Structure 1
Amino acid sequence: MFRKTISSFIILAVIFCSISYLNVRAASPLHSTSRMEGMLVVDVSNSMKDSDPNNISKEAMKMFIDMSSLEGDKIGVVAYSDEVMREKALVKISSEQDKNELKSFIDSLEKYTYTDLSTGVSEAEKMLGSSHEKDFTPLIVLLADGNNELNPRKSKTISQANQDLQSAVSQAKAKGYPIYTIGLNADGKLNKEVLTHVADSTNGKFFEATSAEQLPKILSEIFARHFKLKIVPVSQLIGTGAYQDIKITVPNENVREANISLMSDQPVEIQLVNPSGKVVEIPSDQVVLTKSRTYSMVKLLKPVQGDWTLRVKGVPQDKIDINLIFNYDLQLKLAAFAKESYKAGDTVQVRAFFEDNSTALKDKSFYHSMKGTLFVRDLDKGKTEEFSLEPGNGGFSGKFKLGSASAYEVLVKAEDSSFFRQTIPQKITLKIAPAAPVNEKPSNVSDDGGKPFPWLSIGGAAAVILLLAAIASLLWSKLKSRNRRFSGQMVIEVKDEETGERISPQYKKLKAFKGKFRLHQLLSLAPEFAETDKLIFKPLANDSLLLINHSNCTIEKNGRALSAQKGLTIKRNDRLRIIPKKVNKSIYIEYIS
């Protein structure tokens, strides 16, 4: 233990001594990415039989899955009523089969009785939080009518449900999870106010849907807003019984995927001709075709630049809605500034460029087809100036002159007709000359006969004192953890996997325990659950728990099996499923206040 303490002290000292301030730095650690973590949240309560009688919620979710990238995106599903009824943890899509499995799961969802909107939003937020990766942009798509209908046999009130919803929305906002809400309103009973509030509070957007024909436009706008794309308008067709040609222009060679959705009440036939005039087989290595009850989706993979022809044959007088949106893997980067520090009046040279899979893009025609704009924000006055940038072989370039403000924020935006990107904002803090010292003596001179001040001795003594303090603190922390009491409650629910029957939730207060307790104790030492005696909980700081699993039980969170042999941190409102090996029952636990 002493050796570990010494190592920790040295590491802290090195970190402390290494801290330095840079005058030019990123304003935010976030960076843009084309990879998505999308949670689809759907109300499957009894009221949806009226607000969504044609199951357009299922069509919307399946279309969202089809619009996502064929490789790399992550998608999960939460189906809720007044509790989470079914869920699918985030699946990293690597093939069309992954998408088909997700869509089969959606088709299997049934309707239940009561509704608690907070349940679905809260579960989605937790699932994203437990599986989020830094290179993915998260979002939640909520499909509901916005109304609550609570079970009268349970103690939860409408007021509590509203508070839980607000708490879940606040958590999503704090973590940067935008919630896009699609209000289903076939019966005219949509609670638009609630769903608008959820969306606006998280930087998402509310949409209203009464028919499947509205879905392509809604989902295209969600994709466009989230991935900084532009919807490319395509004319609506009226079927004639013969093929009709539609021009699809792929603007550059950096398009990763082109998604063409066709909505029609009747079956349509599709042909595709590439820019060289050759008919492309559908489906093929270049083209993925997916169909559902109300739509068809054509996905072009790495399409060549130029004018493609989509040939569509529809039943006479049938209306065919066609939408187009492109997916890109390009990210816009701001090159490092020439100097680490600047002063008022200096001229700052700016250069921005695109990257494709971390490789700088050098394509003169590509940059010349786009508009580059520099935005410089005076952080003292809050005013922003715009400057046009010049396109070149390897990016955009320009310059601006610093004024007298103490700091500026700089970013670049580039756009064309199909997408736009912007850089992470960079902050420039102006260097301020230090004031001249007044009657200051050299640092190595003292009043004691000119002898050097004993910095080394004092520094060594201070280091020893800090080291002893660290050891004492560690020992005190160990002693406190042994006597630390628990707080909050554990909700215990047991489900019989053979019959599907669930017992009523049991609320177990934890304040009686000190130092540690075993799950078997919360289960009243029931003999059938004896193996849970090796599931141990210990208290941690910030009202959290440490779960250590020395049993053969499986532990799942959000549908994903987790290893807890070395310890798993449990935070407030975390919900786990414990699966014993010797009995065909599942134990659900949730740590609450």
Structure 2
Amino acid sequence: MKVHKYAAFFLLCLLLLNSLILTDSAAANISTDAQKMDAVLVVDVSNSMKDSDKNKISNEAMKMFIDMLSKNGDKVGMVAYTDQIIREKALMKIGSDADKNDFKKYIDTLSLGAYTDIAVGVSEAVKILDAGKETDHTPLIILLTDGNNYLNPNSDRTEELSGKELDEAIRKSKSEGYPIYTIGLNADGTLNKMILEKLSGETGGKFFTTTTADDLPRILSEIFANHLKLKVIPITNLTGNGQFQDVNIEIPNNSVMEANISITSGNPIEAKLFSPDGKEVEIPSIDVYYSKSKAYSLIKLIKPESGNWKVQIKGVQKDKIDINMVFNYDLGLRLEEPATSNYKKGDMIEILSFLESNGQKVNSPELYQSMNAKLIVSDTASNTISELSLTNDGKSFHGEFTIPEDKKYELKVVAEDNSFYRETDPIIIDASVMAAAASAAPEKVENKKDFPWLLYVMIGIGLIFLAALAFYILSFIKKANKGFIDQIVVEIRDEDTGEKTTPQYRKLNTFKGKIKLHQLLQLAPELIETESVILVPGKNDTLTLFNKGEVIIEKAGRAVDASKGITIKKNDRLKAKLNKVNKSISLDYLI
């Protein structure tokens, strides 16, 4: 009886494992909705930008990009470069308006330098993504420059070395899935488009060029939308007349998570907002985010109700005002797995795809009303692609695909209307397996009734036991030799002048047992009191910080008692305020 109980338990484990595998397989065919991003802004701050962008519109465009990011976990970093890194900021998670405002203030602190080396900026952006990207976020790099390389003639840097470093950054970006969007500000006509086109073309990004910085807000909006598979919807162009002018904003359905209404103009504008019932909505308010500068205004509506909203805009007399909108939908697109996995030439596969929200099928005919969908079929051997239009029945997209040859095919569905675009993850249909199996003689199986199931069950149980034992032994060994992982980003601020050092990445994996903060600060004599701050490895890739002295440790802006140890998790930021010198040290733990 005991043997049968163990056998039943083993079979139950197999069934549970199988169900998990099937669940993961099905989930792989859903396009994620409300995808979060990890973005690194790379900006050329060479002296030539003074002439190309006299009014610092590039700064305003980057600020607008920050304002468009979601406060629910999008991350953003920055690299400002000449022929060296002037300033950089590790990926920071956006969780509040204060986070956005801090980053925008940081943009205004960027200074200019004499020379230019694009490879330096791009390579550093790749390192920032390597250090701080998250697996469920989509990474991207945005590069803004106004010209060619201009290397310091007194340095050892050559165009050959710069080119090799840039090629390595491209290779790494391509392999890691970091698309690079390049913007060439070609104010004087000397822009080297070839390099920028190579960067974007080989990494899956997109190249933009303009002769005026005034186009930069529009370009940054398009990059934001393109990366999240959204669409920029032109609303209208106005000429300011000194009076409020009405602009209608149509929210098509209740699946809109955010509506970003961007208003670019030569001078600041005033704005009023009215909901579909005609009532004025306060700007800003709980569900309305508003930011403005000398070049743009952004109104972000959070989960707006569907219907006809109205914005009233008051601009300066004869000022050109451009208004665009980007919707971020709480929608995904699912492609149903085919009923079987064994196919051959001539077999017909039923295609069924539909919209989802939070894992549930969306039954809203108004959503489907203006949408078109098609099946994209890729022959993996020849890399040829064909398309098949699908039927929209108001609740799903469906059609039929007949396998033309005994080959392997990749299938995915794309659906779009005038405001957004979604695609499913691909599924593989392999008709070559059946063809190969048909050419082989089937193996005859005899004595089915005498198949030793019990023996195999007991062998399986034994293997599981051995695997568990091996896991326990390895865990014990790992614990006994526990060391640090990943890195901490250190930035020192002089509280008297407000000046900050360039963020420094300190690798931790060379240390074991414990490390003093003073070691991470390269034992600088004036920072000797950080000897009392000690880091030790914790559980689940955490750190534990102990403060045995008079240094003040702050977390989330509040002083904390670390005398008995506090836990530091991934992406936590702490500040150590010193007493003997008026300086503070920011610590970002990156995994």
The TM-score normalised by the length of structure 2 is: 0.72
Q: In the superposition, relative to structure 1, how do residues 32 and 586 fare at CA in structure 2: closer, same or farther (>3 Å)? A: same
More displaced 10-residue stretch of structure 1: 26-35 or 181-190? 26-35
The structural deviation recorded for 1:299 is 2.0
Letter of the structure 2 residue corresponding to residue 359 of structure 1: Q
CA root-mean-square deviation:
5.6
Measured after TM superposition, the shift of residue 225 of structure 1 is 1.6
Is 1:283 the counterpart of 2:288 in the alignment? Answer: no
SS at match of 2:324: strand
Report the alpha carbon displacement of residue 439 of structure 1 after superposing the two structures with TM.
9.8
Counterpart Cα distance in 1 of 2:294 and 2:283: 18
Q: Which moved more, 1:81-90 or 1:361-370?
A: 81-90
Matched, 1:36 2:41: no
Displacement after TM superposition at 1:62 (Å): 0.4
Are the counterparts in 2 of residues 261 and 324 from structure 1 also a CA contact under 8 Å? yes
Amino acid in the other structure paired with 1:436: A
Cα gap change, 1:251/1:167 in structure 2, threshold over 3 Å: closer, same or farther? same
5 Å-filtered alignment, 1:193-212, equals 193-212=194-213
Deviation of 1:156 after TM superposition, in Å, equals 3.1
Equivalent residues of 1:518, 1:532 under 8 A apart: no
The separation in 2 between residues aligned to 1:196 and 1:308, in whole angstroms, is 40
Structure 1, unaligned runs of 5 or more: 1-13, 446-451, 482-492, 504-512, 537-546, 555-564, 569-576, 589-593
Q: Is the 8 A contact 1:532 1:580 kept in 2?
A: no
Q: 2:42 aligns to what SS in structure 1? A: strand
Q: Distance in 2 between matches of 1:156 and 1:369?
A: 56
**TM-fit CA distance, 1:535:** 9.5
Distance 1:330-1:534 versus aligned 2 partners, 3 A rule: closer
Letter in 2 for 1:309: K
- SS of 1:66's partner is helix
Deviation at 1:151, TM superposition (A): 4.3
CA distance in 2, matches of 1:341, 1:110: 62
State the distance in 1 between where 2:497 and 2:273 align.
51
1:91 aligns to what? 93
Question: Structure 1 residue 418: deviation in Å?
Answer: 0.8
Please give the residue correspondences for 1:272-351 in structure 2 after superposition, counting only pairs within 5 Å: 272-276=273-277, 278-285=278-285, 286-351=287-352
Q: Report the equivalent of 2:427.
A: 426
Partner of 1:168: 169
One-letter amino acid of the structure 2 residue matched with residue 93 of structure 1: G
3-state SS, counterpart of residue 168 of structure 1: helix
Q: Are 2:31 and 2:334, in contact at CA under 8 Å, matched by a contact in 1?
A: no
Q: Give the match for residue 120 of structure 1.
A: 121
- 1:51 counterpart residue number: 52
Matched, 1:262 2:263: yes
Change (3 A) 1:402 1:191: closer
Q: Compared with structure 1, are the counterparts of its residues 405 and 517 closer, same or farther at alpha carbon in structure 2 (3 Å cutoff)? A: same
1:405 maps to a residue whose letter is D
2:205 maps to a residue whose letter is G
Cα-to-partner distance string for 1:290-337 (whole Å, 9 max, x where unaligned): 111111122222223233333333333222222222221211111222
- Describe how 1:432-581 pairs up with structure 2 within 5 A: 432=434, 433=437, 435-436=440-441
2:377 alignment partner in structure 1: 376
Tell me the equivalent position of 2:506.
none
Q: Deviations over 1:97-130 (max 9, x none)?
A: 2211211111222224443322222222222222
**Match for 2:109: what amino acid?**
S
Provide the residue aligned with 2:252 in structure 1. 251
Q: Secondary structure at the match of 1:233?
A: strand
Alpha-carbon spacing, 1:442–1:354, altered in 2? closer, same or farther (3 Å): same
| Structure 2 Cα separation of the partners of residues 397 and 281 of structure 1 | 42
Query: Which residue identity is paired with 2:313?
Result: V
Post-superposition offset of 1:33: 4.5
The CA deviation at 1:46 is: 3.1
**Once the two structures are superposed, what CA deviation does each residue of 1:174-215 show, in whole Å capped at 9, x if it has no partner?**
111111122234444433332222222211122234444312
Query: Kindly, what percent of the aligned residue pairs are identical?
Result: 43
* Structure 2 partner of 1:541: none
- AA of the residue aligned to 1:321: D
Measure, in 2, the Cα distance between the counterparts of 1:374 and 1:255.
25
Q: 2 CA distance for matches of 1:497 and 1:116?
A: 32
Contact (CA 8 Å) 1:26, 1:427: kept in 2 or not? no
Aligned to 1:245, the other structure's residue is in SS state strand
Provide the residue aligned with 1:106 in structure 2.
107
Structure 1 SS opposite 2:140: strand
Equivalent position of 1:74 in the other structure: 75
- Structure 1 letter corresponding to 2:42: V
Question: Is the 2:30–2:425 Cα contact (8 Å) retained in structure 1?
Answer: yes
Are the equivalent residues in 1 in contact too, given 2:40–2:125 (CA < 8 A)?
yes
Alpha-carbon separation, structure 1, partners of 2:154 and 2:546:
38
| Aligned counterpart, 1:389 | 390
Q: Tell me if the contact between 2:91 and 2:133 (Cα under 8 Å) persists in the aligned partners.
A: no
Q: 1:157 to 1:31 in 2, by over 3 A?
A: farther
- Whole-angstrom CA distance in 1 between matches of 2:328 and 2:66: 14
Equivalent-residue separation in structure 1 for 2:584 and 2:376 (angstroms): 56
Q: State whether residues 80 and 87 of structure 2, in contact with CA within 8 Å, keep that contact through their aligned partners in structure 1.
A: yes
1:487 aligns to what?
none
1:579–1:395 distance in 2 versus 1, CA, 3 Å: same
For residues 315 and 535 of structure 1, do their structure 2 counterparts lie closer, same or farther at Cα, with a shift above 3 Å needed? closer
Deviation at 1:40, TM superposition (A): 1.4
* Change in CA separation of 1:530 and 1:290 when aligned onto 2, cut-off 3 Å: closer
CA contact (8 A) 1:265 1:318 kept: yes
Shift of 1:529: 10
Equivalent residue number for residue 230 of structure 1: 231
Which residue of the partner structure matches residue 64 of structure 2? Answer: 63
Counterpart CA distance in 2 for 1:521 and 1:420 is 50
Distance 2:497 2:289 in 1: 41
Confirm or deny: 8 A CA contact 2:272 2:283 kept in the other structure.
no
Determine the C-alpha separation between the residues in 1 that align with 2:164 and 2:211.
Answer: 29
Paired residue type of 1:110:
S
Instruction: Read off the aligned partner of 1:275 and give its amino acid letter.
Output: P
Change (3 A) 1:102 1:440: closer
Q: Specify the SS of the correspondent of 1:195.
A: helix
CA contact under 8 A between 1:380 and 1:405: conserved in structure 2?
Answer: no
Moved more, 150-159 or 119-128: 150-159
Q: 1:57 to 1:339 in 2, by over 3 A?
A: same
Instruction: Give the structure-1-normalised TM-score.
Output: 0.71
1:103/1:275 Cα in 2 relative to 1: closer, same or farther (>3 Å)?
same
Structure 2 residues not aligned, in runs of 5+: 1-12, 482-490, 502-509, 537-542, 553-564, 569-573, 587-591
* Secondary structure class of the residue paired with 1:232: strand
Task: Tell me whether 423-432 or 192-201 shows the greater mean CA deviation.
Answer: 192-201
Amino acid at match of 1:318: D
Give distance in 2, aligned partners of 1:166 and 1:381: 28
**Judging changes above 3 Å, is the alpha-carbon distance between structure 1 residues 380 and 172 closer, same or farther for their aligned structure 2 residues?**
closer
CA contact (8 A) 1:35 1:72 kept: no
Question: 2 CA distance for matches of 1:136 and 1:293?
Answer: 32
Counterpart residue number, 1:158: 159
Secondary structure, aligned partner of 2:174: helix
Change over 3 Å in CA distance of 1:54–1:128 after alignment to 2:
same
Q: Measure, in 1, the Cα distance between the counterparts of 2:585 and 2:260.
A: 43
Equivalent-residue separation in structure 2 for 1:257 and 1:361 (angstroms): 18
Contact 1:282 1:289 in 2 (8 A): no
C-alpha distance 165-28 of structure 1, shift in aligned 2 (>3 A): farther
User: In 2, are the aligned partners of 1:518 and 1:535 still within 8 Å (CA)?
Assistant: yes
Count of aligned pairs: 551
Residue number in structure 2 paired with 1:143: 144
**In 2, distance between residues paired with 1:296 and 1:93?**
21
| Counterpart AA for 2:91 | A
Q: d(CA) in 1 for partners of 2:207 and 2:401?
A: 39
Aligned-residue offset at 1:425: 0.7
Partner of 2:208, secondary structure, is: strand
Q: Distance in 2 between matches of 1:61 and 1:73?
A: 15
Q: Is the 8 A contact 2:26 2:337 kept in 1?
A: no
Task: Give secondary structure in 2 for the equivalent of 1:235.
Answer: strand
